Amino acid sequence: MPSTHHHHKLTRKELKQPDEFMSFVESTREFFVGNLKQVIISAIVVVGAAAIAIGTYMYERHRDRVAGEQFSTALAALNAKQYRDAETEFAALAEEEPGRRLGKLSQFYLGSAFLGDNDLPHARDALVAFVAEEHDPTFANLALTNLAVIYERMGDFAKAASAYQQASTVPGPEQVRAQLGVARMLAKQGAKDAAIAIYRAFLAAHPFVEQRQEVVESLAMLGASPVPDRQVSSAAPPGSMPVVLPGSATTPSAH
């Protein structure tokens, strides 16, 4: 029996497939050739951007290192009480690196160098500039307290009281000192009653504080006791000496 062979007849779709593939390849080649310049430019831009980013990073790290070395040199001069050298170094760093943390801190230490050199006007200006931009409570507290000390030494007790008051509200190592500074400035301005009230409130809030004896002595200089006289009278134990209150008709007997 003769064998039967079935020949597959290609469809029109199958006949078109090679042509479509070749057309796709050709289109891709033409697109690449036509846009070769743009592709090269894009690659250059990407490589250039990467190079710039790396270069910027390396440059910033270099500036960090230089600023750190300059800051260390200035701080060593300040600790050695070489105030003029410290002033020069800190001033340069504050001017050259205002956006860096060390540059900003240089403004604070510049004020400290001027203060150590007894250059009060320049110390004041440096700390005023620093406080205006500082957000760290520790350094803000220190700067405000130093600024208050400067105003006090310059004889401007009203501004000193204001700076001490601000420092007393900012958490930091000089917060307690600032609270007492407010009372001291009020006393120097003649506001005796207000100063006494602050000292007494301080002792009531901090009964075991290190500065207690200092506050008691300050109250004594103002002619006041650590607690109001009426409070002392009410707390007197039976059989104790009577306390004469201001304006009272009771006086110790001579008999």
Q: How far is CA 147 from CA 58, 96, 107, 174, 220, in A?
A: 38, 24, 13, 12, 28
Q: Which residues are within 8 A (CB) of 43 and not within 5 positions of it... i.e. 6 or more apart?
A: none
Contact criterion met (CB below 8 Å) for 178 and 152: no
pLDDT at res. 61: 76
3-state secondary structure of 191: coil
pLDDT at res. 33: 64
pLDDT, tens digit, 9 for 90 and up, residues 207-255:
898 999 999 999 999 999 998 766 544 444 443 333 332 333 333 333 3
CA dihedral 228, 232, 234, 236 (to 10 degrees): 180
Joined tokens for residue 214: 């200092």
pLDDT, tens digit, 9 for 90 and up, residues 88-110:
999 999 999 999 999 999 999 99
* pLDDT exceeds cutoff 50 at 143: yes
Lowest mean pLDDT among 56-60, 128-132, 213-217: 56-60
* pLDDT exceeds cutoff 70 at 111: yes
pLDDT at res. 22: 57
Question: What percent of the chain clears pLDDT 90, i.e. is strictly above it?
Answer: 60
Phi and psi angles of residue 5, each rounded to the nearest 5 degrees, phi first: -105, 130
Distance separating alpha carbons of residues 110 and 91, to the nearest angstrom: 6
The DSSP symbol for 81 reads T
Q: Which residues are within 8 A (CB) of 105 and not within 5 positions of it... i.e. 6 or more apart?
A: 71, 139
* pLDDT exceeds cutoff 60 at 8: no
pLDDT, tens digit, 9 for 90 and up, residues 178-213:
999 999 999 999 999 999 999 999 999 998 989 999
Mean pLDDT, the chain, integer:
80
The DSSP symbol for 46 reads H
pLDDT at res. 67: 84
pLDDT at res. 253: 33
- Residue 67 or 78, more confident: 78
> On the CB side of 69, how many CA atoms lie within 13 Å of its CA?
5
pLDDT at res. 248: 34
Phi-psi region of 224 (alpha: psi -120 to 50; beta: other; left: phi over 0): beta
pLDDT at res. 19: 58
Phi and psi angles of residue 158, each rounded to the nearest 5 degrees, phi first: -65, -45
Cα 137–chain centre separation: 5
Average of per-residue pLDDT across 111-133: 96
Spans of all domains in the chain: 81-134, 156-232
Q: Is the pTM of this model over 0.75?
A: no
Contact criterion met (CB below 8 Å) for 86 and 79: no
pLDDT at res. 240: 35
For the stretch 170-209, what's the b/e string if a residue is b when 16 or more beta carbons lie within 10 angstroms of its beta carbon? bebebbebbbbbbbbbbbeeebeeebbebbbebbeeeeee
